[in-house]
A and B are shown apart, each in its own frame.
Chain A
Amino acid sequence: QVQLVQSGAEVKKPGASVKVSCKASGYTFTRYGFSWVRQAPGQGLEWMGWISALNGDINYPQKVQGRVTMTTDTSTSTVYMELRSLRSDDTAVYYCARGESRWELDPWGQGTLVTVSS
């Protein structure tokens, strides 16, 4: 079955960087793309960007543009999301999700808690 397994929880200091991985299995990796979505404590879902494993298309929302980089490794069917210059309000659970489009996402990974604290 299609499965996305994310890397484990991270604790980072303000100003540091974090790189979260998401390993896909159960389908042909290069036929889909991935959105990353985060949920801060007590908040709703927030879209962090998209990367297509099909054609390399990438885009990020303005809010995180310049601080986020998404990459794929087709040899290991893994997608990565790196967020730099971390702030306390980046504390959130980060999800990867497979998509035929940026907004039609199925399935989702189990989530990775990133805590930013001094």
Chain B
Amino acid sequence: QSALTQPRSVSGSPGQSVTISCTGTSSDVGAYNFVSWYQHHPGKAPKIIIYDVTRRPSGVPDRFSGSKSGNTASLTISGLQAEDEADYYCCSPAGSYTNVVFGGGTKLTVL
């Protein structure tokens, strides 16, 4: 199973918005409404910020939002803050729910 495709890096200034794309296939992202997104600060444990494409766990600011169209999911972070600088990974089930595929990760830099 190939990794989902994400841009290697994105950047934005504080207060701006950025969108990170996650492109898969009709066998993973396109097949299920279960895309999740993880925020990973190096040296720390990853943290879930979006699940089921659009849902936010409690405690995650509403600056984080998710969407999906066809085989591509997206994470939008609005009102960028310095603490948002991290690596972001998308994740999707694949293969009749028995497999899981991650994106290659996107490094967000807050300028």
**Does B associate with A?**
yes
Main SS class of interface, B = strand
Indicate if A102 sits at the interface (CB-CB under 8 A): yes
Q: Which residues of B contact A59 (CB under 8 A)?
A: 98-99
| Least CB distance, B42 to chain A, in whole angstroms | 10
With contacts A44-B3, A44-B89, A59-B98 taken as known, whether A104 is within 8 angstroms of B45 at the C-beta atoms is no
Q: Give Cα A47–Cα B98 distance, bound, in whole angstroms.
A: 11
Which of B36, B57, B102 touches A46 (beta carbons < 8 Å)? B102
Q: Which residues of A contact B36 (CB under 8 A)?
A: 103-105
Is A102 within 8 A of B100, CB to CB? yes
State the interface size on chain A (CB cutoff 8 A): 23
Indicate if A89 sits at the interface (CB-CB under 8 A): no
Produce 1/0 per residue, A65-106, CB < 8 A to B. Answer: 000000000000000000000000000000101000111111
Indicate if A35 sits at the interface (CB-CB under 8 A): yes
| Least CB distance, B72 to chain A, in whole angstroms | 17
Q: Which residues of A contact B73 (CB under 8 A)?
A: none
* Nearest neighbor of A57 in chain B, beta-carbon distance: B98
Is B104 within 8 A of A44, CB to CB? yes
Is B48 within 8 A of A111, CB to CB? no
Indicate if B64 sits at the interface (CB-CB under 8 A): no
Which of A35, A62, A108 touches B100 (beta carbons < 8 Å)? A35
Main SS class of interface, A = strand
Indicate if B93 sits at the interface (CB-CB under 8 A): yes
Q: Which residues of B contact A105 (CB under 8 A)?
A: 36, 38, 46, 48, 91
Indicate if B63 sits at the interface (CB-CB under 8 A): no
With contacts A61-B1, A102-B100 taken as known, whether A111 is within 8 angstroms of B45 at the C-beta atoms is yes
* Nearest neighbor of B103 in chain A, beta-carbon distance: A44
Q: List 5 A-B contacts (CB under 8 A).
A: A35-B100, A44-B3, A95-B45, A95-B46, A104-B52
Residues on B lying within 8 angstroms of A by beta carbon are 1, 3, 34, 36, 38, 40, 45-48, 51-52, 57, 89, 91-93, 97-105
A37-B102, A61-B99 are known; give 20 further A-B pairs, CB within 8 A.
Answer: A35-B100, A44-B103, A45-B38, A45-B40, A45-B89, A45-B102, A61-B100, A95-B46, A97-B46, A101-B34, A101-B93, A101-B97, A102-B99, A103-B34, A105-B46, A105-B48, A107-B47, A109-B45, A110-B45, A111-B45
